[in-house]
Amino acid sequence: MKFDIVTIFPRMVEATLADGVVARGIERGLLDVEVHDLRDHTTDRHRSVDDVPYGGGPGMVMKPEPLARAVRQIRERRGDPATVILLTPQGRRFTQADAVRLSTLKHVVLLCGRYEGMDERVRTAVATEELSIGDYVLSGGELAALVVMDAVGRLIPGVVGDSRSVEEDSFARGLLDYPHYTRPSEFEGSRVPDVLLSGHHEEVRRWRKRAALRRTLERRPELLDAAALDDEERAMLGEIRREQERDHERD
Q: Cite the active site residues.
A: 89, 116, 154, 169
- Please state, in angstroms and rounded to a whole number, the distance separating the CA atoms of residues 214 and 97: 23
Question: 140: alpha, beta or left, given left = phi > 0 and alpha = psi -120 to 50?
Answer: beta
* CA-based nearest residue to 8, from 43, 50, 45, 51: 50
| Bridging pattern class, strands 83-93 and 107-112 | parallel
160 binds ligand 6GU (CB under 6 A): no
* CA-based nearest residue to 107, from 139, 130, 85: 85
Q: What is the CA radius of gyration of the chain?
A: 23
7 binds ligand 6GU (CB under 6 A): no
- Please state, in angstroms and rounded to a whole number, the distance separating the CA atoms of residues 232 and 150: 33
Find the part of the chain contacting ligand 6GU (CB under 6 A) among 57-65, 131-139, 174-182, 222-230: 131-139
The residue within the footprint of ligand 6GU, chosen from 22, 50, 71, 88 (CB under 6 A), is: 88
State the binding string over 42-81 for ligand 6GU (x if CB under 6 A, else -). Answer: ----------------------------------------
Name the minimum Å distance from CB 82 to ligand 6GU: 19
Q: Kindly state the greatest CA–CA separation across the chain.
A: 74
Sheet with strand 61-62: strands edge to edge: 50-51, 61-62, 117-118
Name the minimum Å distance from CB 159 to ligand 6GU: 23
18 binds ligand 6GU (CB under 6 A): no
Find the part of the chain contacting ligand 6GU (CB under 6 A) among 41-49, 58-66, 140-148, 212-220: 140-148
Judged by beta carbon, residue 6 or residue 175, the one nearer ligand 6GU is 6
132 binds ligand 6GU (CB under 6 A): yes
Judged by beta carbon, residue 132 or residue 216, the one nearer ligand 6GU is 132
The residue within the footprint of ligand 6GU, chosen from 71, 110, 122, 138 (CB under 6 A), is: 138
Give the list of residues 6+ apart from residue 174 with CB closer than 8 angstroms, or none. 96, 223, 226, 227, 228
Site for ligand 6GU, rule CB under 6 A: 87-89, 91, 113, 132-134, 136-138, 140-141, 144
